[in-house]
């Protein structure tokens, strides 16, 4: 297999400098963008009232949209308050080296898409799945149009997925993810590091449970056991930490970050975020000023419609999962993540059919575990977002009226609750705690 191509055409690297950073203490820990991507996904689908609160200012923040191969430019929809018709797929990418941020997160010799979260919402708006794709997952990267319009980059047979951004920006990441998953990605967004601080502040912080004290000298994170409401720089430290959780790997960090993302979604739904114009405005401005959107998504009206479609989505029907894969492979997979193809096929068959599913016992992964005294996942959690577990939500409400008349929608298959054993992740209703490294 032709797996590696000389990419010296893309950038000039100083000799002796590690690809992921010059000094360990200055490494930006690219997977902080994982959190950014998850936060943006939640913000985009939650802020359905943004049209009523200074939509013009938010629109100005968005700037020009990114043209994606195979997607026509679309006219702005305006501030429609109707629900989005049908289902959709949205890819949120976190880059690790935004030039606008200077060197405050360390100096890097390349920009990588270290975070890739694909959100699928069913056509009847009764279930959703967010798939985190590990940054070192090996996959083909197709030929991509260059951002400057000067041609296309050569296709590569087997590369870590986080090389895609360097080949062609957001467009190339979308093309790569479409090839990997077999899904049509209608919407996409790229997020910068600064977004996690601004957006966590905008909603007043996210309560996160840790099973035992977490200390990470690389990020400066120092958390006691129990629940702490994280915002600002502390939220950034938690989402950056790899050495502090699980087995010290990126796979452990993904499952730990899902603790944050599930609590974030419960917090947004259980507090006054969705009914507070001031909070929605701050959240929308924080998101819009720290990301670039595909032309298909670069419209406030579209975001409003997506949020309206999901406002009643039951939390126990929202799954955060990791793309199936493992380490320990050989050849092109040495030191990387090798896809577990049979499990991936099972996962994406469910997604394509719009079928709901549950996860097997012990699914939370190596970076998290079930919270002590957590209610059963099918129980209705408390509506107090600051309860001792720090992870609560209101009772799940009925889903919005089914609709599949959108341009990209297809009739939804009957909902099921089949279990996918071996898949790592959790539902948004599931209360979990991050596990400290070595625990």
pTM of the model: 0.78
pLDDT for res 36: 56
Residues 365-394: tens digit of each pLDDT: 999 999 987 765 443 333 333 333 333 333
What residues contact 330, with CB distance under 8 A and at least 6 apart?
A: none
E-strand ranges in 193-243 read 206-210, 214-216, 221-223, 226-230
277-288 and 55-62 are packed helices; what angle lies between their axes, rounded to 10 degrees? Answer: 10
Residue with tokens 């899902």: 258
Residue 305, both tokens? 């419609």
Least confident of 49-63, 90-104, 266-280: 49-63
Question: How many CB atoms neighbour CB 174 within 10 A?
Answer: 28
Question: What is the C-alpha to C-alpha distance for residues 388 and 380, in angstroms, rounded to an integer?
Answer: 16
Nearest to 293 by CA among 62, 97, 101: 62
Nearest to 430 by CA among 292, 315, 296: 315
Question: What is the C-alpha to C-alpha distance for residues 166 and 70, in angstroms, rounded to an integer?
Answer: 20
Mean pLDDT for 322-334 is: 94
Residue 218, both tokens? 């690389």
| Burial class of 181 by CB neighbour count within 10 A (0 to 12, 13 to 18, 19+) | buried
Look at the chain and count its residues.
439
pLDDT for res 435: 95
- Quote the Cα angle for 404-356-302, to 5°: 40
Residues 269-326: tens digit of each pLDDT: 877 676 677 777 777 777 777 788 888 888 777 877 787 777 778 999 999 999 999 9
24-199+247-432 carries CATH number 3.40.50.300: no
Q: Is the pLDDT of residue 168 over 90?
A: yes
Residue 80, both tokens? 């429609």
pLDDT for res 12: 38
Residues 308/48, Cβ–Cβ less than 8 Å: yes
Residues 304/244, Cβ–Cβ less than 8 Å: no
Question: What is the C-alpha to C-alpha distance for residues 335 and 325, in angstroms, rounded to an integer?
Answer: 13
Stated as kind and residue range, the H or E segment containing 25 is none
Torsion angle of the four alpha carbons 91, 45, 419, 333, in this order, in degrees rounded to the nearest 10 = 20
């Amino acid at each position: 297999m032709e797996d590696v191509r000389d990419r010296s055409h893309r950038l000039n690297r100083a000799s002796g400098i590690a690809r992921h950073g010059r000094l360990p203490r200055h490494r930006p820990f690219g997977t902080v963008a994982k959190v950014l991507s998850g936060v943006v996904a939640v913000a985009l689908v939650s802020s359905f009232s943004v049209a009523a609160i200074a939509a013009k200012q938010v629109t100005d923040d968005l700037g020009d949209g990114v043209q994606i191969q195979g997607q026509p430019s679309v006219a702005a929809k305006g501030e429609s308050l109707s629900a989005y018709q049908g289902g959709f797929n949205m890819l949120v990418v976190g880059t690790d080296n935004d030039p606008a941020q200077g060197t405050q997160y360390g100096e890097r010799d390349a920009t990588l898409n270290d975070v890739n979260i694909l959100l699928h919402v069913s056509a009847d708006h009764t279930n959703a799945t967010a798939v985190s794709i590990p940054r070192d997952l090996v996959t083909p990267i197709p030929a991509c149009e260059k951002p400057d319009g000067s041609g296309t980059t050569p296709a590569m047979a087997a590369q870590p997925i986080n090389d895609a951004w360097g080949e062609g920006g957001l467009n190339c990441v979308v093309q790569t993810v479409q090839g990997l998953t077999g899904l049509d990605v209608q919407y996409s967004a790229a997020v910068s590091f600064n977004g996690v601080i601004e957006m966590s502040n905008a909603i007043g912080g996210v309560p996160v449970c840790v099973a035992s004290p977490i200390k990470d000298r690389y990020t400066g994170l120092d958390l006691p056991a129990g629940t702490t409401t994280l915002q600002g720089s502390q939220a950034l430290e938690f989402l950056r930490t790899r050495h502090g959780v699980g087995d010290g790997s990126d796979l452990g960090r993904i499952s730990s970050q899902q603790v944050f993302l599930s609590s974030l979604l419960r917090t947004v739904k259980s507090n006054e975020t969705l009914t507070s114009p001031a909070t929605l405005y701050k959240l929308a401005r924080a998101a819009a000023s720290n990301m670039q959107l595909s032309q298909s998504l670069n419209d406030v009206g579209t975001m409003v419609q997506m949020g309206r479609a999901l406002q009643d989505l039951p939390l126990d029907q929202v799954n955060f999962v990791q793309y199936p894969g493992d380490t320990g492979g050989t050849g092109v997979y040495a030191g990387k993540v090798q896809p577990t193809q049979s499990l991936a096929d099972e996962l994406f068959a469910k997604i394509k059919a719009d079928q709901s599913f549950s996860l097997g016992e012990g699914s939370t992964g190596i970076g998290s575990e079930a919270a002590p005294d957590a209610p059963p996942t099918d129980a209705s959690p408390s509506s107090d977002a600051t309860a001792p577990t720090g992870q609560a939500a209101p009772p799940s409400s009925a889903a919005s009226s089914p609709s599949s008349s959108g341009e990209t929608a297809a009739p939804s298959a009957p909902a099921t609750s089949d279990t996918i054993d071996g898949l790592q992740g959790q539902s948004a209703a599931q209360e979990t705690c991050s596990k400290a490294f070595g625990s």
